[in-house]
Amino acid sequence: MIRSMTAFAAGERSTEWGALSCEIRAVNHRFLELGVRLPDELRTLEPALRERVAGLVSRGKVDVGFRFRPAGAAQADISLNRPLVERLSSVAVSLSNSFPGLKTDFTDLLRFPGVLEEARLDQAGLQAEALALLDEVLGGFIEAREREGANLGRALAERLDGIEQVVAQVRGWLPEIRAALQAKLNARVADLPQPLEPGRLEQEFVLWLQKLDVDEELVRLDSHVGEARRVLGLSEAVGRRMDFLLQEFNRESNTLGSKSVDSRTTQAAVELKVLIEQIREQVQNIE
């Protein structure tokens, strides 16, 4: 299935520790280049995140970003460490006789390390929620790539049909072009002051046709069209395969143009180059 390299997806999830949000966006790139932005609470999640994305995406410049908004202070669980407060009270009583002027303020007591305890962030639980959100957003990201890839596939199929039609036209013109070449050669021979040796005309005509023969190029173009259709139907990433095939398409169209002795085949070679360039532009967007 064809996938575009450009896509965007985003999602959010509420957890007991706060709100998580994730965005994935991608643009064209020759290889996979993955950029990751994570809050401090999820920093250790980066290796697993990279592994999951790389398992589903093979090409493109992909940026993955997470945001974490912790729950407000009013929602945070704060508890009093009563055993510690009782121990501090016992120490204060035992020292009261030695330090009769010593006074302990209640707010100072609350500042003592360990008196107030806040619920600690469950790193494992938060990371599990982040990975679940990542999988959800990745699913939407892949679907977006596939939808755009379907559009690209239809455009590519139209251009391949166009190449096939041009090749069929040129193949249909060849008998007429060869007959015109033979007539032209006969006219030139008739103007010679001395007649040619027997069989020499046929020999020259055969050599001329061999130099201008484009049957092999037409066969190869048809073969490349068939291979391109097969590649576009594969379930794996096909962008690089299509890049290679386009080089072959260009080689055959260049040869066809260089061998042309008729304005129709010259125009056909130009039309082929236009279609191949249109395919190349679309292939740049394919994973």
β-pair partners for 168: none
Place of tokens 């299935």: 1
Please report, for the domain that includes residue 24, its CATH number: 3.30.230
pLDDT at 103: 66
Residue 11 lies in a domain: yes
Residue 131 lies in a domain: yes
Cα 103 to the center of its chain, rounded Å: 69
Q: Which residues of the chain have pLDDT under 50?
A: 73-75
Neighbour count for residue 82 (Cβ, 10 Å): 9
pLDDT at 14: 93
Assess whether 216 and 255 both reside in one domain.
yes
Assess whether 172 and 136 both reside in one domain.
no
pLDDT at 280: 93
Assess whether 25 and 83 both reside in one domain.
no
Nearest to 18 by CA among 130, 118, 117: 130
Phi, psi (deg, nearest 5) at residue 23: -130, 140
Assess whether 99 and 183 both reside in one domain.
no
pLDDT at 211: 58
β-pair partners for 26: 7, 62
Q: Supply 97's token pair.
A: 């006789």
Domain that holds residue 46: 7-73+125-146
pLDDT at 201: 57
CA dist 232 and 30 (Å) reads 18
Cα-based distances in Å from 135 to 138, 152, 276: 5, 25, 38
Residue 87 lies in a domain: yes
Assess whether 165 and 68 both reside in one domain.
no
Residue 2 lies in a domain: no
3-state DSSP assignment of residue 78 = strand
Residue 272 lies in a domain: yes
pLDDT at 22: 97
β-pair partners for 68: 20
CA dist 40 and 281 (Å) reads 41
CA dist 35 and 64 (Å) reads 6
Q: How many domains does the chain have?
A: 3
CA dist 97 and 85 (Å) reads 20
pLDDT at 74: 38
Assess whether 29 and 157 both reside in one domain.
no
pLDDT at 30: 87
Task: Confirm if 46 and 75 have CB atoms less than 8 A apart.
Answer: no
Assess whether 167 and 211 both reside in one domain.
yes
Phi, psi (deg, nearest 5) at residue 60: 120, 155
Residue 264 lies in a domain: yes
Q: Which residues, 6+ apart, have CB-to-CB distance to 228 below 8 Å?
A: 156, 160, 242, 245
Place of tokens 């959100």: 133
pLDDT at 75: 47
β-pair partners for 22: 11, 66
